[in-house]
């Protein structure tokens, strides 16, 4: 029997307000809100601001990670949330990012990860 170990959602966001995608303080608060609302537990977060624009952020979760990479000049960002936790938590975390980043277009791909064969 195989048992699923996690949910991994890859998201592309087009048409986001460039100011939001370039605001490291906003992004830090957004990561914290996403974890709080979804119930995912963040262990630490790290952000890097590029010059002249853009940022990368990552949160190490107790059950995996959240990462984002932004290109404000294109109103574009990529989001990656993976957790070995309830699928609903990962979905809720993604919803918070979409709600706050206000994209005009979203593409999501959900992967079911970590199938471990237990009856070899």
Q: Which CATH number is 80's domain given?
A: 3.60.90.10
Q: Domain range for residue 91?
A: 27-113
Asked if residue 75 is part of any domain, the answer here is: yes
Q: Among residues 42, 65, 67, 84, which one is catalytic?
A: 84
Domain count, the chain: 1
Q: Active-site residue 84, yes or no?
A: yes
- Pair 22, 54: CB distance under 8 Å: yes
Q: Which two tokens stand for residue 13?
A: 């966001």
CA 70, distance to chain mean position in Å, is: 12
Asked if residue 19 is part of any domain, the answer here is: no
Asked if residue 100 is part of any domain, the answer here is: yes
Asked if residue 85 is part of any domain, the answer here is: yes
Q: Among residues 42, 65, 67, 69, which one is catalytic?
A: 69
Asked if residue 51 is part of any domain, the answer here is: yes
List of residues 6+ apart from 87 with CB closer than 8 A:
7
Q: Among residues 8, 16, 34, 64, which one is catalytic?
A: 64
Residue listed under structure tokens 């986001």: 16
Asked if residue 31 is part of any domain, the answer here is: yes
Asked if residue 5 is part of any domain, the answer here is: no
CA–CA distance, 14 with 102 (Å, rounded to integer):
9
Q: What is the pTM (predicted TM-score) of this model?
A: 0.91
Asked if residue 55 is part of any domain, the answer here is: yes
Per-residue pLDDT of the chain (120 residues; tens, 9 = 90+): 456 688 999 999 999 999 999 999 999 999 999 999 999 999 999 999 999 999 999 999 999 999 999 999 999 999 999 999 899 999 999 999 999 999 999 999 998 877 666 666
Q: Which two tokens stand for residue 18?
A: 């460039």
Q: Which two tokens stand for residue 40?
A: 């995912």
């Amino acid at each position: 029997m195989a048992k699923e170990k996690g949910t991994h959602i890859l998201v592309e966001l087009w048409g986001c307000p460039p100011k939001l995608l370039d605001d490291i303080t906003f992004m830090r608060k957004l990561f914290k809100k996403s974890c709080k609302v979804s119930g995912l537990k963040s262990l630490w977060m790290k952000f890097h601001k590029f010059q002249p624009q853009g940022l990368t952020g990552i949160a190490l979760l107790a059950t995996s990670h959240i990462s984002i990479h932004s290109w404000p000049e294109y109103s574009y960002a990529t989001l990656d949330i993976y957790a070995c936790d309830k699928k609903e938590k990962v979905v809720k975390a993604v919803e918070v990012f979409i709600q706050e980043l206000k994209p005009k277009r979203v593409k999501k791909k959900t992967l079911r990860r970590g199938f471990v064969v237990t009856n070899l």
